[in-house]
Amino acid sequence: MDPYLGHVYLTGEISNFRFRPNGHQYFSLKDDKAKISCMMFKSAFSQVKFRPEEGMKVRVKGHVSVFAANGAYQLYIDSMEPDGLGALYLAYEQLKKKLKQMGVLDLPKKTIPAFPKRIAVVTSQSGAVIHDIMTTVQRRYPIVQLVLFPAQVQGDAAAQTIVERLKQINEMGNFDTIIVGRGGGSIEDLWPFNEEIVAEAIVASKIPVISSVGHETDTTIADLVADLRVATPTAAAEQATPVLRDVLVQIQDLNTRIFNAQNKILNDYRQEVAKYSENVFLQHPERIYEVYAQKVDNLRSRLRQTITDRTGKEKQRLWNIETQLVNVSPRDQINRSQNRLNTDLQRIALSMNRSINSKKNNFSKQVAALDSLSPLKTLGRGYAIATDDSGNVLKQASDYQVDQQINLRVAHGQVRVITKNISEDNNG
């Protein structure tokens, strides 16, 4: 490699940049005269504190080498900084803008409990922050339980440590308030509190979080998303706890006011009872209902008379109805109907007998007429009816054939005969 190309410093505008979350980054750097392809490995890009964007002007350091696939020169970037703005400040502004667009900065803040029982503190166990908080809490509200959750507040691993402590406190769940803090310092020192993962952990906390990072002029992302932001650890302890002496004085004052108010209410009731006790009607309560008692007697008499009158009228109406029922008694109607029925039955029976006898006489006459005309009657006088095997009646001599079997219908039966000779009379 050419020694002059082993350490190259360039300033240019980012072009063709497309962010790859879990891979190497490929883009170009250009100015108004030239353009070069660039590549940044994932390990190097993870050290960049801000998010490169299309058109952003940056300063980079790297080395130039030939890409074997196409023989083109390519700049391999080892580090990158924004041109004109510090990388950390730019990253801070980018995250702040992102959170604002997501609406995180406009979320409603949780209320800090006025009388906490347990307070969790996330800070360094060796710094002055925990000492200031303990001193202030002991002075103001010594009955609260203060629990330290040690965390790194500076360095590359600090943000992850703070997130783990916040999750641990929320999983335990038996805390009223969380104080997250550290002393002042440069933007590099305070940077863990500008990390997006710390902001997400504070927003996700179900327990109210007080942020005390840096001093009055230092504002971190943690300050923006916390439920309450204070300038110093002492101020955080003061916002998290009341003054026990003031609370006791207030309770005593409230006790006195309640006692006085109770006495006033009792005195007012006593006066009202005394006023009522002097009332003539309460001293002689029977006077209240004397008039009403007389009115009740009058009403009772009127009611009794009304009931008597109404009962008499109903009795009379009942007697009238009973008389009407007697006149239209179903029993009498049934008897009369039964008599009419018996009479009608007798008339029907007599009529039917006459009709039957008439029909019998008529039938006997017709039977006698039919009997006189009956062929059987003729057969009884010695006559016979001849028929062939087909049942045809043989009336004339021409209907017969010699040796023909003939059926003769005679009185009381049939005779089977065979013709031997057929002769016609002179007229035939």
Please report, in tens digits, the pLDDT of each residue of the chain (428 residues total). 566 688 888 888 888 888 888 889 999 888 878 889 999 999 899 888 888 888 788 889 999 888 777 778 899 999 988 876 556 777 888 888 888 899 988 899 999 999 999 999 999 998 889 999 999 999 999 999 999 999 999 888 999 999 999 999 999 989 999 999 988 777 778 889 989 999 999 999 999 999 998 776 678 889 999 999 998 889 999 999 999 998 899 899 999 999 999 999 999 998 888 887 777 666 677 667 777 777 888 899 899 999 999 999 999 999 888 887 777 777 777 888 888 889 989 999 999 999 999 999 998 888 877 777 766 667 667 778 888 888 888 778 777 888 888 888 887 788 888 888 888 776 64
Q: How far apart are CA 219 and CA 232, in angstroms?
A: 12
Name the token pair of 132. Answer: 């200031």
How far, in Å, CA of 17 to CA of 25, rounded? Answer: 8
Q: Which strands, in side-by-side order, build the sheet including 405-410?
A: 385-387, 405-410, 413-418
CB 65 within 8 A of CB 1: yes
Residue 298 tokens, joined:
């009058």
- Cβ atoms of residues 63 and 19 within 8 Å: no
H or E element in which residue 204 lies: helix 196-204
Separation of alpha carbons 268 and 264, rounded Å: 6
Coil vs helix vs strand at 246: helix
What are the strands of the beta sheet with 145-150, ordered from one edge?
145-150, 118-123, 177-182, 209-213, 228-229
The reported pLDDT for the residue numbered 292 is 79
Query: How far is Cα 168 from Cα 162, in angstroms, rounded to an integer?
Result: 10
Report how far residue 75's alpha carbon sits from residue 30's, in angstroms, rounded to the nearest whole number.
Answer: 12
Q: Residue 376: its pLDDT value, please?
A: 67
Please say whether the beta carbons of 245 and 130 come within 8 A.
no
SS3 content of the chain, % helix, strand, coil (to 5): 50, 20, 30
CB atoms within 10 A of CB 12: 19
* Residue labelled with tokens 């003729």: 378
What's the pLDDT at 86? Answer: 58
Terminal C-alpha separation, the chain = 163
Structural domains in the chain plus CATH codes = 3-84 (2.40.50.140), 111-242 (3.40.50.10550), 378-418 (no CATH)
Q: Are 52 and 20 in contact (CB under 8 A)?
A: no
